């Protein structure tokens, strides 16, 4: 039986649910709610199936974000539903993504953060609940503005403690608690005005 690829709308909906329920709902990133509410998040979908095809899509999104008005697009979630299913392959792709950032001379201006369905921190086991802080429904490259990060850190004096606090949050929640939490709707999910900017490559 041929597996049917999810539609762009389904991919964005799943990603938005993860953003609103996990990232914002569990306060894994205290800076995320503001850009979500202001509709400054761009959801970009790459249908690439290989690293070679993914890099041009990444370049396009890096250039787009760099050239955009921050009030319109402050951050981009570049989603890969058809590539990098294996976390080790995804991890290797991050090296090329960072190299591309440098080649475009955008390091220091933009940053790339990583999320994956099978994300695993160094020194952990695959099923350790702590890994779920960076687990998303699809492989995602999160493109951020350095200036926005700096402003957010200045406004959040305990920014250095975010990682430790997130790990503690996940340990308190546990696997069953995580599944139950993610089964519910997130704040503002599906409401008009919270859609963000959507695009498919």
What is the spatial distance between Cα 60 and Cα 76, in angstroms, rounded to a whole number? 11
Residue 37 lies in a domain: yes
Residue 38 lies in a domain: yes
Residue 7 lies in a domain: no
pLDDT tens track, the chain, 201 positions: 556 789 999 999 999 999 999 999 999 998 899 999 999 999 999 999 999 999 999 999 999 999 999 999 999 999 999 999 999 999 999 999 999 999 999 999 999 999 999 999 999 999 999 999 999 999 999 999 999 988 888 877 677 788 899 999 999 999 999 999 999 875 555 543 334 565 555
User: How far lies 91's CA from each of 50, 83, 87, 199, in Å?
Assistant: 13, 12, 6, 24
Q: How many domains does the chain have?
A: 1
User: How far lies 185's CA from each of 23, 126, 134, 169, in Å?
Assistant: 13, 26, 19, 19
Residue 63 lies in a domain: yes
What is the spatial distance between Cα 12 and Cα 9, in angstroms, rounded to a whole number? 5
What is the spatial distance between Cα 57 and Cα 78, in angstroms, rounded to a whole number? 9
Contact between 132 and 170 (Cβ < 8 Å): yes
Q: How many CB atoms lie within 10 A of CB 75?
A: 23
Residue 8 lies in a domain: no
Residue 71 lies in a domain: yes
Q: Is 118 helix (H, G, I), strand (E, B) or coil?
A: coil
Question: Where in the sequence is the domain holding 132, given as residue range(s)?
Answer: 17-200
What is the spatial distance between Cα 106 and Cα 187, in angstroms, rounded to a whole number? 33
Residue 188 lies in a domain: yes
What is the spatial distance between Cα 57 and Cα 51, in angstroms, rounded to a whole number? 10
Residue 11 lies in a domain: no
Q: Dump the DSSP string for 15-70.
A: HHHHIIIIIITTTSSTTHHHHHHTT-EEEEE----SHHHHHHHHHHHHHHHHHS-T
Nearest Cα to 135, choosing from 24, 9, 51, 18? 18
């Amino acid at each position: 039986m041929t597996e049917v690829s999810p539609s762009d709308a389904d991919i964005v909906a799943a990603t938005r649910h993860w953003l609103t329920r996990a990232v914002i709902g569990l306060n894994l990133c205290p800076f995320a709610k503001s850009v979500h509410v202001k509709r400054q998040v761009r959801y970009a979908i790459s249908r690439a199936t290989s690293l070679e095809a993914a890099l041009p899509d990444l370049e396009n999104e890096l250039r787009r974000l760099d050239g955009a008005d921050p009030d319109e697009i402050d951050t981009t979630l570049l989603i890969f539903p058809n590539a990098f299913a294996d976390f080790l392959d995804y991890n290797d792709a991050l090296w090329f993504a960072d190299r591309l950032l440098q080649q475009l001379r955008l390091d220091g201006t933009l940053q790339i953060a990583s999320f994956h369905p099978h994300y695993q921190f160094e020194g952990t086991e695959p099923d350790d609940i702590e890994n779920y802080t960076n687990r998303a429904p699809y492989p995602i490259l999160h493109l951020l503005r350095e200036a926005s990060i700096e402003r957010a850190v200045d406004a959040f004096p305990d920014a250095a403690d975010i990682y430790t606090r997130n790990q503690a949050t996940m340990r308190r929640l546990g696997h069953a608690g995580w599944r139950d939490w993610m089964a519910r709707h997130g704040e503002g999910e599906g409401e008009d005005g919270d859609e963000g900017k959507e695009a498919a490559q």
